[in-house]
Structure 1
């Protein structure tokens, strides 16, 4: 939660004018709503943290700021075209933006370049001053170049600026999106810690909304010169291991708090990044140095006129993991990487992750579809381990047609489930995966399975054998047609099997209330029974359904 909170703290600073967006300007927030937002920070999904942070920040926004919201990846999986201006820029949109974020789904890809360009165009950036704030927890996944886009918008715009807030990104990943901001004169912020988020937000809101200061009085005569003092009174340093190379990357953070009399951390002061050096009021502090998943703290005393040089040894190593479906394959962005390290766990990683972890045993679990594999690494301080973790799966793509060689079933109601082929002692099978819609794909370990495809009243089972690394495309024939019934004045329509059993009873197939029904039904002979409104007599009509055909029936 600290990473994302830091991101929104900086986001508010951007929006409130700290780095250039004034109330009279027009701006659009571009929000990452991709599937990776389901990753968790401190046990809570990032998307929930994002909604809460947006709600807190927007409550303190100036009422006359023209602000809009654009999102990507919130309506479709696997689409690079899923970009929408959810809330057009206007004054007083805080409530609308909060509501839109609360109702938004997070499930698609990351077309961040195309989204930023569309936001710039909606702001008429070639005619007017425009500002775009991109908030992303992932990199471009739609074959676009954010750096080149930044140069293009800067050259074509009247006064265009893009700011980028990245959270949960490594320093190397951050460079791939930071150029979008830098090439437009904007600012990139790498968020990796935000202790005491609520206090920081409150103080930022106070700064943003306080009235303009009164004109300064005439300056007083200059005071007498003070004694010379040091330029910086605190210059910290950090290493992964004793005697190791000093860390200067932007993912290194120093969190500073006042020290209580009992030696514990008290009031939050600030968080600084990278090769930082600065000035603090004389006194005792608790400083925490952190890189990724490794951290250490110590008490630091700052004395007037002296330089404090605290040195932090993180006692950590680097673990670079690539999650691949099979030997020799590229990392799969859908593969979840879960790390259980000394002192905690993290699951907000997909496809490829470079960890800094405390020395000791770190257990890495990779989940891809129905496949799961774990491996424990004994990491020594200063050690670098590069490892491809092979999940061992193949991909099955299941297509469904109404009849052999006929039209494909294209419907969000198409329900596909994958079961292990071997039955349990009670005769049931273990379900391993499911999905809705056309042409679902499943990552499955090697073995024998049964695909069960259901569309309305038609259900078909088909055996499926998988090998690691293969992509298998299966077509399931439903041997069904579509029955459309129109029955004016009806209260209920029911479809039964055409042939009765020995007791004269017919098996029900499907039903609907009202005057119309449409359903996918297996080919065969059936009997329609229509119950009219009121006390009228029921009407019966035989129906024959042919595979791959649409049958339209009207019962008067």
Structure 2
């Protein structure tokens, strides 16, 4: 038996090629063929609900750990594709991404692909099934899909109808479904229709052990040898294409910490001196001749897919793709031209485009004699914050600051701070998504927090309503008397928790509406007084020494 690669097709012959008009027999009587690998695509739910916890651990963390173990266990035994939905946009029914194209399962590559997942968005199950079926080429070969989801489709799709439609097109397709949630398992049984329609398995998983069992059960069914099939006659034009040789996983977004890149406006350290210099344009707009080993790489950025090009305010940084011995990515060059052209030697690089707090990092490969042109779609918008009081009067810009956090939480429930000490009235450029904004008015407990959504290509304006007031304190020997200096003050809640402490004759603080206990200490004596704060009602609290 001889196997020959022709284009992207693996054609098999026994002894001689038959003429195209003659039927091709897919069987060799004298030689036993090795059983082909199963072709399977795993669809992982990365919607916002996957931040929910089971036994104190986020479901997304559990799912990724199980998949890591499964990839190692079945390494080299399957052809696998990996798809996730809901992890690149806060809202989006087309948010479906191939993390790894279909190819021989190499555990390390697939485990690395999982690291890009940060749940945040919607649950487009029906659309994800169509995406996976196309990826696995279900209309041309035996194929299986494994769906892991903690919820139902919320994008007006019909997964049951979609599964039936796909089954009609590919009778060999099977869809296995794993409902992964501790709560709502009764509701999730609605997902079983996909497995029922296609002859797959439906499993309920309420913890890590269950999820592992469900995954291995589904995969093991694919590894069981099937009975030998008789020779099947196909016309030459019906020979199914096999899997294209795997070209490796290409990750769109790579995490580069701010500590790896110099701050805007700072001078590069000696160790960060660029080793490759950007090609400078000559008079007339032509690019200067590059050394033979260097390749021109041109970059530009768009606000959003199909949106306008960004022509100012961009900072580009190019790093080596591999970390140096110090664990950081080495800076190759930085550019403030909105459409820079860099001269790069053949190799792999991480290119970061920063536009305010919006940013995108892509991994690129530069090949000899092949100029590079990359378009970065930042998918960003603007956010402008302001605050008002109960009387609808604006809060003084000097008295309020904002901290902005990502909507995502780590396995301990903590958010990542995107920006601190943001000022009101300024436009803050951010990647599109949901953010948690904390507004602090004054220096005490007048704090309000809320979620805001930044839409791509749009300016979002959020106004915070502070229910608070300015309160000043004075300790006097008699009503209306002069304030006593060096008085120590403590503002307490009715439960005795400290809200604010200060020292002075007339301290002033901004307090949230509510009831408080004021404690004044003067020359070894303590004086107490209860008071209330009403929104917008600034007042002075006078404590008389008795």
Scaled by the length of structure 1, the TM-score of the pair is: 0.41
Scaled by the length of structure 2, the TM-score of the pair is: 0.42
If asked which structure has higher relative contact order (CA below 8 Å, sep 6+), I would say 2
